Chain A
Amino acid sequence: MRAWQSYRLRLQRRRWRIRAFRKRRELKAAADRTSVISRGDVLVFSTLRNERRRLPHFLKYYREMGVNHFLIVDNGSVDGSSDYLARQPDVSVWRTDKSYKRSRFGVDWLNWLAMKYGHGHWCLTVDPDEYFLFPFCDTRPIQALTDWLDASSIKSFSAMLLDMYPKGRIDAQPFEEGMNPLDIASWFDAGNYTISKNKRFGNLWIQGGARARVFFPDQPAKAPALNKIPLVKWDRRYAYASSTHMLLPRGLNLVYDEWGGEKASGVLLHTKFLDTFHEKAVEELDRKQHYSASVEYRAYADSLSQNPDMWCKWSEKYINWRQLEILGLMSKGNWA
């Protein structure tokens, strides 16, 4: 890469960090327990809005994985999400009513929190509807992974977003508080992903899956990106660029092998498609707070009103991470 390009990316990163620093004023701590974070803790960062029903299982899942502390930004929930979170012993919550869009879809807020609290920690940035899977996650805690990554001098870990959906109408089974969303949305598309390289940031750009198949067959270029790098050994000089799709410095985006081998990687099970989805889509369409004029939500709202069954004959039912590894959706790499 030419020095000029490298310099421009450096400036870009700096702009984002300044932006994150300025946006810190928008966050009001509702419960700040960051003093209990100790060296070597694994942290989860998340932004959410009206996700009360999902939270109990979300916290349970990541606690069992070995996550030590949660740092969460509540963007104007009215369903009691932040009160619930504020009662948890291992959660710090910040509230804000400011624009999600103008904080670059929450990235500025989380960049700030990571800059302040994440330095030197393994930071996992996930949405409340995303469930992180890594190789051997059923038998080893996340510290086994992070220790191994440390020993291998690896600083970032890739996980593709895998859209999960129920069989039948999306709203057929009600999702109640505390339920495991994977019990309802347990199906996924195994082999219809397309990849290209983003030359500027060096990351891969992945599209496809159920969302592309059902909602974007006619405008595939607009299908949402599925590449994510959620787990990073954070340094205060780092910055996420757009969502967790890519970050700077660009070396962190090199989570894939280019010489034929497979690097170790995981999957983020994306459980967006539950009965709560339709109302959410309508609301988000109204708020216009999402990416690219909420083109995604427009596509959903159109299709959803017609036939909200994403399931097809060749959908796969989720069993465990080993199944995903055999299907080639994640890899153990040289971790054994």
Chain B
Amino acid sequence: MTLNVGIVMLVHTALHRAEQVARHWAGAGCPVVVHIDRNVPKDVSARFREALGSDPLIRFSRQHKCEWGRWGIVAATQDAAEMMLAEFPDVRHVYLSSGSCLPLRPVAELAAYLADRPQTDFIESATTADVPWTVGGLDAERFTLRFPFSWKRQRFLFDRFVELQRGLGIKRRLPNGIVPHMGSQWWCLTRQTLSAILGDPERRTYDRFFKRVWIPDESYFQTLARQYGVTVESRSLTLSKFDFQGKPHIFYDDHLQLLRRSDCFVARKIWPRADRLYSAFLSGASGTAQQAEPNPGKIDRIFARAVERRTRGRAGLYMHSRFPNYGWENGQTAEKYSVFQGFADLFSDFEPWLARTTGAQVHGHLFAPDRAHFAGGHPVIQGALSDSAGLRDRNPLAFLTNLTWNMRGERQCFQFGPADTQKIVPHFGTDPNAQVSIISGAWAVPLFKSNANFADLRTTAARYQQIESKMLAELRKPHVKARVRVWSMAEFIEAPMEPLQTIIDEIGQTTGRRLTEAPKMEDLTGFGQFLQNLKNQGMHPYLMGDFPIDPSPTNTRRKPRKPYLVR
């Protein structure tokens, strides 16, 4: 007594595994028709036939040369299916599988499942317009162009011939108005549908057409099943995942639990040396859930993640197998970060204040000429990133990307200024993750407070002003993607709380609370006079905006020094 399901098996490599699987099917009462690729060496296929020949349930169909993407595979399938229908009258469903497929559930469960659905064809089949799987840009053109050349062996001719046909605008007509469908080549069809396809009076027309279609094994049965199928269930019973190049993912020993829990009937493709998988699934140990629906969700997710990793990668990661060209990073840095220029000059306790209000990691001047001033003054931080100026300046961008990558999940804030090494500035500009806030001209405050020789101060001030104006120009270029905010110092101290509130809100670690505490502003009494002195010396400080000489504008605004509520 044979089961209601017959297995057509296309075999071309790892024949010892195919043999094991064929025995497993036949042992459970399934008729098996094996097609051996004609490319398999004669002695190998002879040995294989001999090993299986004694089994009454195993037959061998006429051999064809099978090459990926060409007609041979379909021809082999047709012959094998015809043989199956002719020789095993009990068979109600024909299941197409390959030598690297592995049944995951007891054969009886598959038979029962199909017996419950006697009219259903399981074949993934979708119109070309609706599928995203096609790789290489050929989808509808698979049917409208001719493909006489092999993609594997004659790639040059293949490509040129496609171009030629596109150039000439040649299109084939689809016979009898069929609507091309595509899908996984591993199907399970009812005797009714399959015999209708194989016995169609128009079959020669269709065969002639599909012989010149590219990858017909993904479209021949998929298209024709739509003509005859009573109930077409557009999914494959074979668990088979494809990567971004359209090549099947392979299962290994460590997928054992995943495969077990998937409740799929058959999986492909199995690595031929996955001994544990073969011994576990072919040993005949019974499944747990008798009538469970196949549930490949978890495996789907794992393989979808793999494709995502291969095509998009992890944002902000630079490594030896991911080094994106400029503009292709999917995030130049791993995390948003904030750059503050002039704030620490204007407010004496800016860093601790910022750390308190935002809870972010607040560094000093990371790009200071002597060393990177990490938060807390540590010589090394996460990822063993060193504060050495030499290492940092060797590749400032890598320093920044390393910092954000090592600290991902935590907002980074740091100070910047005209005294720092400026090579990194253009990178701030192009990075959407950067939030750059600048109080222009605030660098004059420490100069004003310092006790240095005025002639030196004047030179330093001139230099800083030049550097800062260059930086501002850089950050105002049209391609800048960073969030850049610039206030002149005069403008800023008019109403410091508003800009501070905006910046803090954007950092977004506080939940929309108003600032209750302001940082302590330096005493600016006499600052206007200091600027005037610079002017008198022939230097023109303009970045800080207009400060009246006297009375100092800060004399009237003491308020920011005290904690207060802005309402």
A interface residues (Cβ-Cβ under 8 A, vs B): 136, 139-141, 143-144, 147-148, 151-152, 158-160, 189-197, 204, 206-208, 210, 212-213, 216-221, 227, 255-265, 312-316, 328-336
Which residue of chain B is the closest to A189 with respect to CB atoms?
B384
Of residues 361 to 400 in B, which have CB atoms within 8 Å of A's CB atoms? 378-386, 388, 390-391, 394-395, 398-399
**Given A197-B323, A256-B321: A136 touches B252 (CB 8 Å cut-off):** yes
With beta carbons under 8 angstroms apart, the residue of B306, B378, B402 that contacts A193 is B402
Q: How far is the CA of A329 from the CA of B383 in the complex (A)?
A: 11
Smallest distance from the beta carbon of B141 to chain A beta carbons, Å?
23
Cβ of B309 and Cβ of A139 under 8 Å apart? Answer: no
Q: How far is the CA of A316 from the CA of B405 in the complex (A)?
A: 15
28 contacts between A and B (CB under 8 A): A140-B252, A144-B273, A151-B247, A151-B250, A191-B382, A192-B385, A192-B402, A193-B402, A194-B399, A195-B318, A195-B320, A213-B388, A217-B390, A220-B390, A256-B320, A256-B323, A258-B325, A260-B311, A260-B322, A260-B324, A260-B329, A261-B311, A314-B382, A316-B384, A328-B405, A332-B306, A332-B309, A334-B244
B476 at the interface (CB under 8 A from A): no
Query: Which residues of B have CB within 8 Å of A333?
Result: 306, 309-310, 321
Which residue of chain A is the closest to B319 with respect to CB atoms?
A328
**Given A263-B310, A334-B243: A313 touches B383 (CB 8 Å cut-off):** no
Q: How far is the CA of A151 from the CA of B395 in the complex (A)?
A: 37
Q: How far is the CA of A194 from the CA of B314 in the complex (A)?
A: 17
B485 at the interface (CB under 8 A from A): no
With beta carbons under 8 angstroms apart, the residue of A140, A258, A259 that contacts B253 is A140
Smallest distance from the beta carbon of A63 to chain B beta carbons, Å?
16
Which residue of chain B is the closest to A264 with respect to CB atoms?
B321
Smallest distance from the beta carbon of A184 to chain B beta carbons, Å?
19
Which residue of chain B is the closest to A311 with respect to CB atoms?
B384
Cβ of B391 and Cβ of A192 under 8 Å apart? Answer: yes
B249 at the interface (CB under 8 A from A): yes
Smallest distance from the beta carbon of B367 to chain A beta carbons, Å?
15
Of residues 271 to 319 in B, which have CB atoms within 8 Å of A's CB atoms? 271, 273, 302-303, 305-307, 309-314, 317-319
Q: How far is the CA of A139 from the CA of B399 in the complex (A)?
A: 35
Cβ of A256 and Cβ of B254 under 8 Å apart? Answer: no
B165 at the interface (CB under 8 A from A): no
With beta carbons under 8 angstroms apart, the residue of B245, B318, B380 that contacts A314 is B380
Query: Which residues of A have CB within 8 Å of B314?
Result: 262, 328
Closest CB pairs A-B (n = 6): A191-B383, A334-B310, A265-B321, A189-B384, A336-B306, A194-B398
Cβ of A334 and Cβ of B320 under 8 Å apart? Answer: no
Interface bits B213-253 vs A (CB < 8 Å: 1, else 0)? 00000000000000000000000000000011101011011
With beta carbons under 8 angstroms apart, the residue of A140, A195, A218, A331 that contacts B254 is A140
Query: Which residues of A have CB within 8 Å of B382?
Result: 190-191, 314
User: Interface size class for chain B?
Assistant: 35 or more
Which residue of chain A is the closest to B255 with respect to CB atoms?
A336
Q: How far is the CA of A206 from the CA of B323 in the complex (A)?
A: 11
With beta carbons under 8 angstroms apart, the residue of A136, A148, A191, A255 that contacts B320 is A255
Query: Which residues of B have CB within 8 Å of A227?
Result: 320
**Given A191-B382, A262-B314, A329-B319: A147 touches B271 (CB 8 Å cut-off):** yes
Q: How far is the CA of A124 from the CA of B108 in the complex (A)?
A: 46
**Given A191-B406, A265-B321, A334-B306: A314 touches B384 (CB 8 Å cut-off):** yes
Interface bits B486-512 vs A (CB < 8 Å: 1, else 0)? 000000000000000000000000000
With beta carbons under 8 angstroms apart, the residue of B252, B273, B307, B378 that contacts A334 is B307
Q: How far is the CA of A159 from the CA of B390 in the complex (A)?
A: 26
Cβ of B306 and Cβ of A144 under 8 Å apart? Answer: no
B330 at the interface (CB under 8 A from A): yes
Smallest distance from the beta carbon of B506 to chain A beta carbons, Å?
26
Q: How far is the CA of A147 from the CA of B271 in the complex (A)?
A: 9
Cβ of B384 and Cβ of A213 under 8 Å apart? Answer: yes
Query: Which residues of B have CB within 8 Å of A152?
Result: 245, 247
**Given A217-B388, A218-B390: A331 touches B383 (CB 8 Å cut-off):** no
Cβ of B313 and Cβ of A261 under 8 Å apart? Answer: yes
Of B271, B273, B302, B394, chain A has the most CB atoms within 10 Å of the CB of: B394
Q: How far is the CA of A76 from the CA of B279 in the complex (A)?
A: 49
Q: How far is the CA of A315 from the CA of B381 in the complex (A)?
A: 9
Cβ of B384 and Cβ of A160 under 8 Å apart? Answer: no
**Given A140-B253, A151-B250: A192 touches B386 (CB 8 Å cut-off):** yes
Query: Which residues of A have CB within 8 Å of B399?
Result: 194
Of B244, B245, B319, B320, chain A has the most CB atoms within 10 Å of the CB of: B320
Which residue of chain A is the closest to B249 with respect to CB atoms?
A336
Which residue of chain B is the closest to A188 with respect to CB atoms?
B384
Q: How far is the CA of A255 from the CA of B322 in the complex (A)?
A: 9
Cβ of B384 and Cβ of A192 under 8 Å apart? Answer: yes
With beta carbons under 8 angstroms apart, the residue of B273, B317, B380, B383 that contacts A143 is B273
Query: Which residues of B have CB within 8 Å of A136?
Result: 252, 254
Cβ of B320 and Cβ of A265 under 8 Å apart? Answer: yes
Cβ of B305 and Cβ of A204 under 8 Å apart? Answer: no
**Given A140-B253, A151-B250: A210 touches B320 (CB 8 Å cut-off):** no
Query: Which residues of A have CB within 8 Å of B320?
Result: 158-160, 195, 204, 206, 227, 255-256, 265
**Given A213-B391, A256-B322: A262 touches B253 (CB 8 Å cut-off):** no
Cβ of A212 and Cβ of B391 under 8 Å apart? Answer: yes
Query: Which residues of A have CB within 8 Å of B303?
Result: 336
Name 15 extra pairs, CB < 8 A, besides A147-B273, A220-B391, A332-B306: A140-B252, A143-B273, A195-B320, A195-B398, A207-B394, A216-B391, A217-B391, A220-B394, A260-B329, A263-B322, A314-B381, A315-B384, A333-B306, A334-B306, A335-B306
**Given A213-B391, A217-B391: A258 touches B324 (CB 8 Å cut-off):** yes
**Given A192-B386, A334-B243: A263 touches B321 (CB 8 Å cut-off):** yes
Cβ of A313 and Cβ of B380 under 8 Å apart? Answer: yes
Which residue of chain B is the closest to A259 with respect to CB atoms?
B328
Q: How far is the CA of A220 from the CA of B313 in the complex (A)?
A: 29
Query: Which residues of A have CB within 8 Å of B319?
Result: 160, 193, 195, 256, 262, 265, 328-331
Q: How far is the CA of A147 from the CA of B253 in the complex (A)?
A: 15
Smallest distance from the beta carbon of A332 to chain B beta carbons, Å?
7
Cβ of A258 and Cβ of B317 under 8 Å apart? Answer: no
Cβ of A258 and Cβ of B388 under 8 Å apart? Answer: no
**Given A212-B391, A328-B405, A329-B319: A259 touches B383 (CB 8 Å cut-off):** no
Cβ of A334 and Cβ of B309 under 8 Å apart? Answer: yes
Q: How far is the CA of A160 from the CA of B317 in the complex (A)?
A: 15
**Given A217-B388, A255-B320, A334-B244: A144 touches B310 (CB 8 Å cut-off):** no
Cβ of A148 and Cβ of B325 under 8 Å apart? Answer: no
Cβ of A195 and Cβ of B323 under 8 Å apart? Answer: yes
Q: How far is the CA of A312 from the CA of B378 in the complex (A)?
A: 11
Query: Which residues of A have CB within 8 Å of B328?
Result: 258-260
Query: Which residues of B have CB within 8 Å of A210?
Result: 384
Query: Which residues of B have CB within 8 Å of A158?
Result: 320-321
Cβ of A139 and Cβ of B247 under 8 Å apart? Answer: no
Which residue of chain A is the closest to B269 with respect to CB atoms?
A151
Cβ of B323 and Cβ of A331 under 8 Å apart? Answer: no
Query: Which residues of B have CB within 8 Å of A218?
Result: 388, 390
Query: Which residues of B have CB within 8 Å of A143?
Result: 273
Q: How far is the CA of A263 from the CA of B247 in the complex (A)?
A: 15
Cβ of A257 and Cβ of B394 under 8 Å apart? Answer: no
Smallest distance from the beta carbon of B448 to chain A beta carbons, Å?
35
**Given A143-B273, A217-B386, A329-B319: A261 touches B309 (CB 8 Å cut-off):** yes
Smallest distance from the beta carbon of B308 to chain A beta carbons, Å?
9
